[in-house]
């Protein structure tokens, strides 16, 4: 299958690498060497690639309307068209803020992974390359928040708990699984943004760079998770399934900060309650989670013991 080209705002054409095939354990160095070669060719500095001076149109949506958490609810009907557009921009900015915290956790985990590895391997060198990608992404997301007037965000208590969990267990396998979930979820959202040229150009420029570089991260994490899962004992697998379910629920809950609703003049509690019960928003989460869920199901990480919990979270 050929990978579609992505026209970039500066006239160049960006070509994402084809979705990586799952590598056998012996392919680990080969896979890393390939990812390093592609990284050297296709990496983007968002500070120079994106024109941050372009004014942001307050009436333009950043996400398709039906992907905004309140779409179709009575509260949505009560908003003016500009307020709805603003809500979509703030939802994207809030997702970017959550993205920064996920990336910081991932960078932390990758650095520890390298610390325990042989740095002369391509595998370890690619991990460092991924850290460099994520550094640029986090700055890019922060710049997006500033450009759209989204107030600075600090990690929530939920994010702090996730980070404490990671420090406590220092579990590289869980780090790869959590990264796959967050990266596939974001990838699905951003591919929709790239396809829809009625959306805000700034958000779409951010999405283009992110989709291209993240496809490599997914191609690194998937075979690594597969390799580690194959060696895991049955009792550890049972525990791993449960912990990943909680991590995925928390990652999804984190993407909409309550201040998104407050900024639109809505009561955050009421809005949050409506969003949670909103069938459009449930459907959106299920669709964006589909690729990660498919991969986890194929490996047996999602099985009958945790399927009901993934369903309750609208991730399946
Ligand atoms: Fe990223
Ligand atoms: Fe990534």
Q: Which ligand is nearest to the CA of 182?
A: 2
Residues of the chain under the 70 pLDDT cut: 1-26, 167-170
pLDDT digits (tens, 9 = 90+) for 19-76: 444 445 458 999 999 999 999 999 999 999 999 998 899 999 999 999 999 999 999 9
Q: Find the 92 Cα to ligand 1 centroid distance in Å.
A: 14
pLDDT score, position 19: 44
Percent of the chain with pLDDT over 90: 82
Q: What is the DSSP string of 92-118?
A: HHHHHHHHHHHHHHHHHHHHHHHHTS-
Compute the distance between CA of residue 65 and CA of residue 72 in angstroms, rounded to an integer: 9
Q: Find the 214 Cα to ligand 2 centroid distance in Å.
A: 5
Q: Find the 184 Cα to ligand 1 centroid distance in Å.
A: 11
Q: Find the 66 Cα to ligand 2 centroid distance in Å.
A: 26
Return the closest-CA partner of residue 221 out of 118, 133, 310: 133
The one-character DSSP state at 304 is T
| Radius of gyration from C-alpha coordinates of the chain | 19
pLDDT score, position 273: 95
Q: Find the 212 Cα to ligand 1 centroid distance in Å.
A: 10
Q: Which ligand is nearest to the CA of 106?
A: 2
Q: Find the 97 Cα to ligand 1 centroid distance in Å.
A: 12
Q: Find the 15 Cα to ligand 1 centroid distance in Å.
A: 17
Compute the distance between CA of residue 72 and CA of residue 278 in angstroms, rounded to an integer: 8
Q: Find the 210 Cα to ligand 1 centroid distance in Å.
A: 6
Phi, psi of 238 (to 5 degrees): -60, -45
Domain extents in the chain: 72-312
Compute the distance between CA of residue 55 and CA of residue 69 in angstroms, rounded to an integer: 25
185, 251 Cβ separation under 8 angstroms: yes
Q: Which ligand is nearest to the CA of 99?
A: 1
Q: Find the 12 Cα to ligand 2 centroid distance in Å.
A: 23
pTM more than 0.95: no
**CATH number listed for the domain at residues 72-312:** 1.10.620.20
Report the DSSP beta bridge partners of residue 13: 7
Q: Which ligand is nearest to the CA of 178?
A: 2
pLDDT score, position 270: 95
Q: Which ligand is nearest to the CA of 209?
A: 1
Q: Which ligand is nearest to the CA of 217?
A: 2
- Name every residue whose Cβ is closer than 8 Å to that of residue 172 and which is 6 or more positions away in sequence: 109, 112, 113, 228
Compute the distance between CA of residue 53 and CA of residue 240 in angstroms, rounded to an integer: 45
Q: Find the 71 Cα to ligand 1 centroid distance in Å.
A: 27
């Amino acid at each position: 299958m050929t990978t579609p080209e992505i026209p970039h705002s500066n006239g160049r054409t960006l070509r994402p690498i084809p979705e990586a095939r799952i590598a056998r354990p012996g392919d680990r160095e080969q896979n890393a060497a390939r990812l390093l070669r592609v990284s050297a060719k296709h990496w983007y500095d968002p500070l120079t690639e994106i024109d941050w001076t372009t004014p942001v149109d307050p009436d333009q949506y950043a996400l398709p309307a039906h992907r905004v958490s309140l779409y179709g609810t009575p509260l949505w009907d009560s908003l003016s068209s500009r307020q709805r557009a603003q809500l979509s921009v703030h939802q994207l900015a809030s997702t970017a803020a959550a993205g920064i915290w996920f990336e910081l956790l991932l960078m932390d985990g990758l650095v520890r992974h390298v610390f325990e590895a042989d740095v002369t391997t391509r595998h370890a060198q690619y991990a460092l390359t991924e850290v460099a990608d994520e550094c640029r992404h986090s700055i890019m997301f922060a710049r997006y928040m500033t450009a759209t007037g989204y107030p600075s965000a600090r990690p929530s208590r939920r994010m702090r708990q996730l980070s404490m969990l990671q420090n406590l267990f220092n579990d590289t396998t869980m780090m790869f699984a959590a990264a796959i979930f967050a990266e596939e979820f974001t990838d699905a959202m951003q591919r929709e943004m790239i396809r829809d040229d009625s959306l805000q150009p700034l958000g779409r420029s951010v999405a283009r760079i992110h989709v291209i570089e993240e496809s490599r991260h997914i191609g690194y994490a998937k075979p690594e998770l597969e390799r580690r899962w194959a060696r895991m004992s049955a009792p550890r697998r049972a525990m791993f399934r449960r912990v990943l379910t909680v991590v995925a629920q928390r990652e999804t809950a984190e993407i909409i900060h309550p201040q998104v609703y407050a900024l639109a003049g809505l009561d955050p509690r009421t809005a949050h309650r409506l969003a949670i019960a909103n069938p459009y928003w449930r459907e959106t989460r299920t669709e964006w989670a589909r690729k990660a869920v498919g991969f986890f199901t194929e490996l047996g990480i999602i099985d009958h013991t945790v399927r009901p919990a993934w369903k309750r979270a609208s991730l399946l």
